[in-house]
């Protein structure tokens, strides 16, 4: 950015926006330099120019890492949107070669999403868009505006947001399945609500809750189950279920993980509300070719 005699901005260097986008995405001078094919000293000098232009430190040291300032976080989404629009403008429709794209996408969702979707998605990225890097983020509080502020690019899972500025695509209605080890006593006969409730159960809750929709459904027919404990994620629960007499539940998209471990999945003998599974993203990504590829690939792999 250039300045007039009185110090006010008189022009805009779009290269600074590209560098700022990379710095906020990577949160590292070294990472941003590698992404933009610059030397670290050159990127450090660019960061200095950005700090001067913005009147803000942008990135500050926190132990061994660098973290963005509140102002940098506030403008990150808009900076990314401007850079994406500029790329689209100069590239032209249909002219993007995904093999030349250098991007980092942050995917928000339950850790079981990463465990079940991750292997195939990394393989597809390596084959079709080798410059794309993927960061799977754990679930954030529902009130966190991760898609809006740019800290996440795509949300995958049970989407419950009502934010008007977020695009939501419903893929299917998911249902919970019961999970037990091979040879579990529950498999010896028909799984009735009574037999299901009589077993000892393991709950999955990031907050350690010992109850959930299953208990509501059981209470409606006069039954109650005994939950002996909880764990924070579905993958962790599977290893416990494999070596105990406990009964767990998991969404259908956890099936590949459970079957890889040799676990048995069966219908829950209760009327449970369907879970609207889908994708969510901010509209600024609508026409971004790399994000379109990401959405299409996730959609296909989940199909």
Domain boundaries of the chain, sorted by first residue? 1-95, 103-165+283-303, 176-273
Look up the pTM and report it.
Answer: 0.70
Is domain 176-273 given the CATH code 3.30.70.20 in the classification?
no
Assess whether the region 103-165+283-303 and the region 176-273 belong to the same CATH fold: yes
- % of the chain surpassing 90 pLDDT: 47
pLDDT band at 168 (very low <50, low <70, confident <90, very high): very high
* pLDDT score, position 139: 67
* pLDDT score, position 236: 93
Question: Is 225 a residue whose pLDDT tops 70?
Answer: yes
pLDDT band at 237 (very low <50, low <70, confident <90, very high): very high
Question: Is 278 a residue whose pLDDT tops 80?
Answer: yes
Q: How far apart are CA 215 and CA 212, in angstroms?
A: 6
Average pLDDT estimate for 128-142:
82
Question: Is 261 a residue whose pLDDT tops 90?
Answer: yes
CA 211 to chain centre: 25
Q: Which CATH number fits domain 1-95: 1.10.10.10, 3.40.50.1370, 3.40.1350.10, 1.10.260.40?
A: 1.10.10.10
Q: Which CATH number fits domain 103-165+283-303: 3.90.340.10, 3.40.640.10, 3.40.190.10, 3.20.20.70?
A: 3.40.190.10
What phi and psi, each to the nearest 5 degrees, are found at residue 62? Answer: -135, 90
Q: What is the dihedral of CA 188, 190, 194, 198, to 10 degrees?
A: 20
Place of tokens 């795509």: 154
What phi and psi, each to the nearest 5 degrees, are found at residue 9? Answer: -60, 135
* pLDDT score, position 170: 92
- Which has more confidence, 184 or 162? 184
Q: How far apart are CA 160 and CA 276, in angstroms?
A: 8
Q: How far apart are CA 17 and CA 19, in angstroms?
A: 5
Q: How far apart are CA 103 and CA 293, in angstroms?
A: 12
Question: Is 32 a residue whose pLDDT tops 80?
Answer: yes
Average pLDDT estimate for 262-283:
92
Average pLDDT estimate for 160-169:
79
pLDDT band at 92 (very low <50, low <70, confident <90, very high): low
* pLDDT score, position 82: 79
Beta bridge partners of 66: 61
Place of tokens 């299901």: 196
Average pLDDT estimate for 184-203:
96
């Amino acid at each position: 950015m250039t300045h007039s005699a009185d110090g006010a901005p008189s022009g805009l260097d779009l290269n600074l926006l590209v560098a700022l986008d990379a710095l906020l995405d990577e949160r590292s001078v070294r990472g941003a330099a590698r992404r933009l094919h610059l030397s670290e000293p050159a990127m450090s000098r660019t960061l200095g120019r950005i700090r001067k232009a913005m009147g803000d430190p942008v990135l500050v040291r926190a132990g061994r890492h660098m973290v963005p300032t509140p102002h940098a976080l506030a403008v990150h989404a808009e900076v990314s949107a401007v850079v994406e629009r500029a790329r689209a403008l100069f590239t032209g429709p249909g002219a993007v070669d995904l093999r030349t794209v250098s991007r980092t996408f942050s995917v928000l969702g339950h850790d079981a999403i990463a465990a079940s979707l991750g292997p195939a998605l990394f393989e597809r990225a390596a084959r079709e868009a080798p410059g794309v890097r993927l960061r799977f983020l754990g679930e954030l509080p529902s009130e966190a505006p991760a898609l809006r502020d740019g800290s996440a690019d795509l949300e995958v899972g049970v989407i419950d947001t009502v934010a008007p500025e977020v695009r939501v695509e419903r893929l299917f209605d998911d249902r919970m399945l019961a999970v037990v080890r091979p040879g579990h006593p529950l498999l010896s006969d028909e799984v009735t609500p009574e037999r299901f409730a009589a077993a000892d159960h393991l709950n999955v809750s990031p907050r350690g809750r010992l109850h959930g929709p299953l208990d509501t459904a059981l209470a409606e027919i006069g039954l109650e189950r005994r939950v002996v404990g909880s764990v924070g994620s579905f993958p962790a629960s599977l290893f416990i279920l494999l070596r105990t007499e406990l009964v767990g539940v998991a969404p259908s998209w956890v099936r590949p993980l459970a079957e890889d471990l040799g676990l048995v999945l069966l219908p829950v003998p209760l009327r449970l509300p369907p879970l609207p599974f889908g994708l969510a993203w901010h509209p600024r990504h609508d026409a971004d070719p790399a994000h379109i590829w990401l959405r299409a690939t996730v959609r296909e792999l989940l199909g």
